[in-house]
Amino acid sequence: MVSFIDANRDEFGVEPICTVLQFAPSTYYAAKSRALSARAVRDAVLQVTLLALWQANYSVYGARKLWKAAVRAGETVGRDQVARLMRDLGIEGVRRGRRVRTTRPDDTASRHPDLVHRRFVADRPNALWVTDLERHEALSNPAVVKGHRRVLVAAGASKLRAA
């Protein structure tokens, strides 16, 4: 909120922006006068170091390797902290291999006609039926589902048994 007000204060002023956003101007000024936290200061220092290490290693290091490089350089930093700071900086390691594609569409195949012309609004009940299909694998033993045993119901009452 404070950064938004800072970005637009020259054009509109602080008080009008705070009025529209229902944000107290005193809260804005208190946030501006407050010193940065120790974490924010440490993050700013580490971001400079991590960016330099990342660029020195041809911009290919991911969080794990960049963390190890930072520890070798004498920084006391956690691996998850390195990952968070990399996200904040907008940097990432090189991706190896190809991304997995589970389906390959056939561009020459005929498509079903779009009967609603991408308008999914009905003017009365039962005028438009839309569905989404999913594929579920059949279990080899339908009585055992995720380790739970279920009661099977047979044709007659005398044939009820627990599986």
**Residue 103, pLDDT score:** 80
pLDDT averaged over consecutive 10-residue blocks of the chain (163 residues)?
92 94 93 92 96 96 96 96 96 84 83 80 81 63 52 44 46
> Where are the domains positioned within the chain?
2-33, 38-89
**Residue 163, pLDDT score:** 45
Task: Please give the model's pTM, rounded to 2 decimal places.
Answer: 0.51
The string over 77-113, giving b where at least 16 C-beta atoms fall within 10 Å of a residue's C-beta and e elsewhere, is beeebbbebbeeeebbbeeeeeeeeeeeeeeeeeeee
Q: Is 147 left (phi over 0), alpha (psi -120 to 50) or beta?
A: left
CB-CB contact of 11 with 20 (8 Å): no
Q: Give which of 49, 64, 69, 73 is closest to 94, Cα–Cα.
A: 64
**Residue 117, pLDDT score:** 81
